[in-house]
Structure formats: structure tokens, C-alpha cells
Structure 1
Amino acid sequence: MTYRIPAFGLGTFRLQGQAAIDSVTNGLELGYRVIDTAQIYGNEAEVGQAIADSGVTRQDLFITTKIWIDHYAQDKLIPSLRDSLAKLRTDHVDLALIHWPSPGNAVPVAEFMAALRDAKRQGLATQIGVSNFTIGLMQQAIAAVGASEIATNQIELHPYLQNRKVADFAKSQGIAITSYMTLAYGKVLHDPVIQAIAQVHAATPAQVVLAWAMQLGYAVIPSSTQRANLQTNLLAQQLVLGASDMAQIAALDRGGRLTNPEGLAPAWD
């Protein structure tokens, strides 16, 4: 089966209440059609409300949610996803992900991947995948359900943390990479290399970084509460960087990981 992960979407991490509703509402008005949320974000109901009020038809949308670690057991995963679907006001998500590896392997990879595959077979998710998985964990997931069942691995990836080992392994297995925190909480936007490239292309630094990730074949899901930023970010899809630009950004890699929650993060590659 061929999976298709859209290259550009709207993230909702850290957006709560009205801020989540406004961001998704603005995004949909501007033309975003891919929305990424998660159970732990606590905003699925707000995302669902914004979608319902937008008038955009369900078939035109690509909705992703992520299952939280408390719900990995075989008897809990599908009920938790059904709860998410109720909040999102839809009968299925286009992509359901395992959000983090199970801490201390409390629920084995084989168990939660099988449950996730069952959710797909029941029509609750069109595609399934993982997030924050190392090469070793991806290998376990592949052993459990087969690489063809795993649409993507959503990982922290930006110019300061290019995660090439994981990305290369995923690519070798036909698994797409979705980059989260592509702008590194805005840190890379102040980088002189990025700013210089932006100036040459009459683009914003954010457009440069997003275009860089997409040109490497990664999907991106930047978030913003500012309508103007949502609008300019969209234009990254039209920006084409040259080989020199790409090489300069490649040289910025410094292993600068920003997301490493204690008790949750695996032993990174």
C-alpha cells in the first residue's frame, strides 16, 4: 500500500482553549487542510469545534492525532481513539500516531502497534505511525506490523538537530519523516546563515527553514497564533532553495535537541 503524508500542515502543540480555536480557524480560512493534534495537547475538542464551524468538508481535510502513553494497552488504545474522534467530531482520523515510546517498555511495542493496526482495520484511522521513535524502536515496530503499515515517524528535526541517522533509516524502510519543531521554537530564525539566505530569496527566515525541510522530503507542521505568520508560512511551499543554500543549512547541525522529557524520552540515536 502507498501512503501519502501531506508535506505541509498546521500544528497545534501548546495551543489551548480559544487560542487553539483561533489558530485552526485562521489556518482553515487561509487554506490549510492538514491539522495535527494529540490527546495530551488537551485541545482535540477545540480543534474539532474549529473544523466544524469552518464549513470545510471532512474529505478535504487530513487530521492527525497521537495516542498518549496511558492508553497503549491493548484494551485501552481503541477506546481512547474513539474518545478522540468524538472530540474531533469525526468518525476517523487520517493518521493516528503512537506519541512516545512506552516508558520503561511498560507496554511492549508489539502490543500497542497491533492495537493501532486494529484501529486502522476498524476504520478509525486511515493510516498509522509513530512519533519520537529511535531506529531500534522503529525496528521493533516494523517487526510487529511491517514497515508498510507505518506511514511516518514524527520527530524533532530542525537545522540544529537534523537527525540524519533516524531519517536515513526511515527512508530506507519507506517510512516518511514528519518534522516537528522545525523552527526550533524560533531559535533558528535568528541564525545569520538562515537570515542571509532569506534575504537573497526575499523570503522570511521561517519560509527558508520550512522549505529546506520539505526539499529534504520531510513533512512539516508549524504552528502559530498569528494569522500573518500562518499566511507567510504557507508560502514556503513555493520557495525553492539552491544547492548552496541547502549545503549551508546542512552545516548548521549541532545536535541541538530541545525536547527530551525525563522519564519519557528514549535513548536517542
Structure 2
Amino acid sequence: MTLARPDCPDGAAARRAAREGYAGHTAGLAPGFVQGNLVVLPAADAADFLRFCVANPKPCPLLAVSEPGDPHLPALGADLDLRTDLPRYRVWRAGELVAEPTDILAHWRTDLVAFVLGCSFSFEEALIADGIPLKHLAMGRNVAMWRTSIPCTPAGRFAGPLVVSMRPFRPADAIRAIAITSRFPAVHGAPVHIGHPHLIGIEDLSAPHYGEPVPVEDDELPLFWACGVTPQAVIVAARVPFAITHAPGCMLVTDLRNSRLAAL
């Protein structure tokens, strides 16, 4: 049973809540602290995925890489354990989703390498601080995400579509949101597309592929950011033999401060 949404003043509290059974999304948890997407792969695939991240920095801004078999990343949190500290995970075999556990203790292996990628939840703090409303947070929903018709740059076996997250804004707020998020390249940076979702292969804004729908009013513009769920679409497209990821919206909350990621 999923616990009620916890009050988490920092990253350590958010990780502790996940260990204790919280399995919901992390948007808005631990304000001020960096959240990350997770990708775990066998060492045999790690070099190609690292090259994929370098070739696709907008959806895959790399924050940290573990040593093979080591579930700890002290640079992101002294007590952090990648096997237990996310609310929910996804386990993939041959590109098929086979499980969504709340920990990966039973799936961990000595050859696994973990990658933590920047998350747009981090730049949301800067938008809120500037007084720009975020509708999905006001509605208590996970952000809406779609697979697009934009291909990623391939690397080894890793190839597939770019995934984007969407947030609607009135035009004046949209201009400010673009300027603010461009200061955070380590967590996806500026949007990759504005308006006209059909131009990037999105036919129905009411039916996201991941997350929850967020309505776009007639006086609002949808802004689309590159998303760290992209590796999950690539895992499916490339039929990667084995992988573990976060469940969309269920991020690793670290001890890093969002303010440290600002470029300016």
C-alpha cells in the first residue's frame, strides 16, 4: 500500500520515505534539492550508454556514474542506496517492462552500473521562485510526458525517440520560463519545442505516454522540455537485454542543492 505523500524537508527525508514505503511521485518533494533520473545497466552496455549521454546532453544530462556493483553514490548523498531510495522502479528485459518494484534488492547484480541524470523537477524550483505557476503541481499531478518523432543521436545499441515533458504557460510566463530554464543545462536547460505539438509527433495533449494529463487552455502555450525518461523509450526501441530505471516521476532525491546547478 502506498503511504500518504510525505513532508520531506530535504533529500535524506525523501529517500527515507521511499525506504519506508512511499511509492508516489516526487514532484515538489524536498524543495531545493536536486532530483535525478536513474538508469542501471550491465557493465557490458555501460560504455555505449555513456556515449549516448554525451551525444544527447539535453535529455541525458549526466550527474553521476557508479562503480560496477556499487549501489552507493556518496557524492549525491552519504546514506544513499540506489536499490531502495526511489519510490518506484522499472525492470526491463529485452525491451519489455517486466516489473515495477518499490526496491531492486532482488534484481541487483555485481556487474551493474548506475547512471543518474538531471531532472526537470530541479528547474521547477527556479520557476516557482520567480512566481511562475506550474499547473501540474497545483493539480497534485505528475508532469505529462510523450515520446516524440525527434530521433536521438545513436550510440552503439542505444537509439530511439526523444521524450519530452510539457508545462503550459500564458505567453508572458512562457518567455520568462524559457529564460530561467536556459540557466540550468545540467537539468535539461531550455525547452526543445514551443507550441504546435503535432510538429514533434504529439497528436493528443490529453493522452500522455507517461505521467498524468495537464490541460492546456486557449490562452496558454505548451512548452516542451527534453526529458530523462528518454532512456526508457530507447530501452524499448533497442530491445536492451536488461535494464533498471526509475518509474516516471519517481525520482532519486539527492543532497545536492538546485542552486549549484545554475550556469549563471
TM-score by length of 1: 0.27
- Structure in which a larger fraction of residues adopt strand: 2
- Work out which structure has the larger RCO, using CA pairs closer than 8 Å and 6 or more positions apart in sequence: 2
- Structure in which a larger fraction of residues adopt helix: 1
TM-score by length of 2: 0.28
User: If you compute each CA radius of gyration, which structure gives the higher value, 1 or 2?
Assistant: 1
